[in-house]
Amino acid sequence: AQRVTQPEKLLSVFKGAPVELKCNYSYSGSPELFWYVQYSRQRLQLLLRHISRESIKGFTADLNKGETSFHLKKPFAQEEDSAMYYCALTSGSARQLTFGSGTQLTVLP
Amino acid sequence: SAVISQKPSRDICQRGTSLTIQCQVDSQVTMMFWYRQQPGQSLTLIATANQGSEATYESGFVIDKFPISRPNLTFSTLTVSNMSPEDSSIYLCSVSKSAEAFFGQGTRLTVV
């Protein structure tokens, strides 16, 4: 069965500091991985997906199949990055998601 | 993209009663997903709702407790039946379009 692990429930960094949110997964097939974000009082939304290899709001994430990781990184955190971040994996033709437990990121001024 | 309207946004219910949550999408989709997020925990898939057939439930979830309707390609309901305090959660409706998942704003249910 697939599983997504986010070891940090809470993460605080100062504005301008680098930030890395960890995500590890277990999946027997070829995974498709995502980062979803939920800002305060907003609905859950897609931040980025590994197949796009894009940078969104300064965030990047590289899929490391050897380490089964998909860590989210940003070199200089901003206060508006404070939010709940979920790593997720999709499986099956229906494309339902398996979520990690989430990391609450707080960027301090 | 897809815009999802979910209601009610929150409710406080007595134990033993049932609540039906509605999910409306602004475009036709084949599958709709219902997730539960218990306090302090991650999102867990309850079931996948297909139009014209019975919903597919994940391990630990049964139709008698969480009956789902899918009358057309833009609408679905999830009922939480015979509620107990353990059912207090946020319930989320979701659809997938172009490999991206879109979510409703959630229904925050408190059972007293």
Instruction: Give per-residue pLDDT as tens, A55-66.
Output: 889 999 988 988
Mean pLDDT, to the nearest integer, of A36-41?
93
pLDDT at B64 over 90: yes
pLDDT at B88 over 70: yes
Residues A10-23 have pLDDT tens digits of 999 999 999 999 99
Which residues does B7 contact at the CB level (< 8 Å), separation at least 6? Answer: B21, B22, B107
Q: Which residues of B touch A32 (CB under 8 A)?
A: 99
Under an 8 A CB cutoff, do A86 and B43 touch? yes
Confidence bin at A100 (pLDDT 50/70/90): very high
pLDDT at A94 over 80: no
Q: What is the pLDDT of residue A78?
A: 97
pLDDT at B93 over 90: yes
pLDDT at A93 over 70: no
Which residues does A13 contact at the CB level (< 8 Å), separation at least 6? Answer: A19, A77, A105, A106, A107, A108
Q: What is the pLDDT of residue B58?
A: 93
- Which of A2, A26, A16, A28 shows the shortest CA–CA distance to A97? A2
Alpha-helix runs per DSSP H in A11-106: none
Q: Tokens 């499986």 identify what position?
A: A91
pLDDT at A27 over 90: no
Under an 8 A CB cutoff, do B31 and A101 touch? no
Residues B2-12 have pLDDT tens digits of 999 999 999 99
Chain A residues with a Cβ under 8 Å from any Cβ in chain B: 32, 34, 36, 43-46, 49, 51, 86, 88, 90, 94-102
Segments of B30-67 assigned E as strands: 31-37, 43-50, 56-57
